Amino acid sequence: MTTLKAKVTRHLQDRDSHHRRIAVGFFWVSFFVFVGKLAGAAKEMTIAWRYGISGTVDAYVFIYNLISWPVGVWFSVLTVVLVPLVARMRRDEGSDISRFCGELLGLTLLIGLLLGLLLYWGLPSLLQATWVGLADEVVAQALTMAGPLSFLLPMGLVISLFSAWMMACGHHRNTLMEALPALVILVAILLPPGTIPEPLVWGTVAGFALHLAGLAMPLKKMGELQAPSLIFTSPAWRGFWGSMGIMAIGHSLMSFTGIIDQFFAAQLGTGAIATLSYANRIMALVLGLGAMAISRATLPVFSDLVAGEASPTVRGIAIRWAGAMFVVGLMATIAVWLLAPWIVSLLFERGSFTTDDTYTVSNLLRFYILLLPFSFYGNVLVSFFAAQRHGINIFWGGIVAVLAKLIMNLLLVDIYQIYGLVYSAVFMYLSTSVFLTIRIYMSRNL
C-alpha cells in the first residue's frame, strides 16, 4: 500500500508524467461533465414533472434519439480520428492546419444540410409506418415535433466538429458547454404555459443554437475557427480518410444498438420508451463521469505519445488505466445499486411522475448499472486503438456489439419485456470488453 501511494505521489508531482496528464484531464473533464449532467438532471426533473411517463415523452425521445445517432457517430469518429491527426500535424511544421479546419467545416455543413433535408422529408413517413409499432397518440404528437427537431441534425454535426476540434487543441471546455441545451430546455418548460408553443421542442432547438454559438466564440478567439470551404485540397485529407472509413463503421455499429433498443421498446406499449429513457438519463450521468471523462482524458495523451513514437509506453499505460477504471466502475455500480430508488425519487418523483413510476425505473436502473465496469474498461482500450490508428479493432468491436445486442434482444425481450433490453445491454458491454482485451494482448506489435 505504501509503495502504491509513493508511486501515485511521484506521478502527480512530476509535471511531465503521462499518468499525471491523464489524471488531471480526467479530473477536469469529470468536473465539467458533472456540471453538465446536473443541468441535464434538472431538465429531466422538469420533463418528468410536466409530462411524466407519457406519449409526449415517447414521441420526443423517439425522434431525438434518431437524430442523436448520426450526430453521435460523427462526434465519435471525429474525436478518434481528428485528435490523433491534429497531434501529428502540430508536430509537422509544414502542415496547414487552418486550411484543413476550414475545409472540414465546409464538409460538415454540406453533410448536415443534406441529412437535415432527408430527415425533414422522410421522418413523417417513418413515424407512420406500421412496422415501427408506435401507438396512434404517439405518432400524432411525433408528427408535430418532426419538422422543428429536424434542425437539430445540421446544428449537431457542426457542434460535434467544434467540440472535437477543441479537444484536439487540448481544451476541455467543450464538455462544460454541453450543459447549455439542457439549461435552455429547463427554462423553456418552466415558463408560464402559453409563453412559447411546444416548449420541449423549441427549447431543444434554441438550446442547440446556443451550444453552437458557445463553442464557436472561444474557437474564434483562439484563432482556430476558419471560414468554411468546399474546395478540399489539404494534404491532411489523406490521413483523415485513411482512418475515417473503418472507424466510422465501427462507431456507427456500436451506437446503433441504442436505435435497436428504441424499436424493440416501441413494441412494448406506450410509456416503454419513456421508462427506458429515464433510466438512460441516470446512466448518462454516471457514464459521463467515468467513460466519457476517461476517454476524453486518455485519447489526447495516447495520441501525443504515438506521434512521438512511444507506442510501447502507450500500451502499458492503457492496460493499467483500463484495469483501474474497471475497479472504479465496480465501486460506482455498488453505490448506484444501493441508492437507485432514492436517486430516481429525488430526480423525477413529482407532478405526473408517480411512486409506481419510481419503482419501475429504479428496478430497471439496478440491472442497467451492471454494465458500468465493462464500459469504463472498454473506453480506455478504444482510446488506445484510436490513437494507434488501428480502426479495424474498433470496427470488429462494433460488429460484436451489434450481434450481441440483437441476438440477446431477440432471446430476452419476449420473456423479460423491457428488462430484456437491459440484460442484453450488460451482455453487449461484457462481450466487447472481452473482445478488446483479447485484441490488445494478441497485438504484440502495438
More confident residue, 144 or 247: 144
Mean pLDDT of the residues in the chain: 82
pLDDT of residue 420: 93
**Torsion angle, CA of 365/370/371/377, rounded to 10 degrees?**
140
Min mean pLDDT across 191-200, 239-248, 256-265, 396-405 is at 239-248
More confident residue, 204 or 90: 204
357-389 b/e (C-beta count within 10 Å ≥ 16 → b): bbebbbbbbbbbbbbbbbbbbbbbbbbbbbbbb
Amino acid at the residue 111:
I
Q: For residue 416, which of 353, 345, 367 has the smallest C-alpha distance?
A: 367
Other C-beta atoms closer than 10 Å to the C-beta of 224 total: 17
d(CA 278, CA 275): 5
Q: Tell me: the pLDDT tens digits for 395-428?
A: 888 889 989 999 999 999 999 999 999 999 999 9
Question: pLDDT-based confidence at 8, cuts 50/70/90?
Answer: very low
Q: Tell me: the pLDDT tens digits for 286-313?
A: 876 666 667 767 777 777 777 665 555 7
295: three-class secondary structure by DSSP:
helix
Q: Tell me: the pLDDT tens digits for 71-100?
A: 988 887 787 777 777 767 776 655 577 888
Give every CB contact of residue 175 below 8 A, 6+ residues apart in sequence.
Answer: 29, 32, 33, 36, 292, 296
d(CA 63, CA 127): 9
Residue 263 pLDDT exceeds 60: yes
Average pLDDT over residues 356-379: 92
Give every CB contact of residue 6 below 8 A, 6+ residues apart in sequence.
Answer: none
Other C-beta atoms closer than 10 Å to the C-beta of 14 total: 11
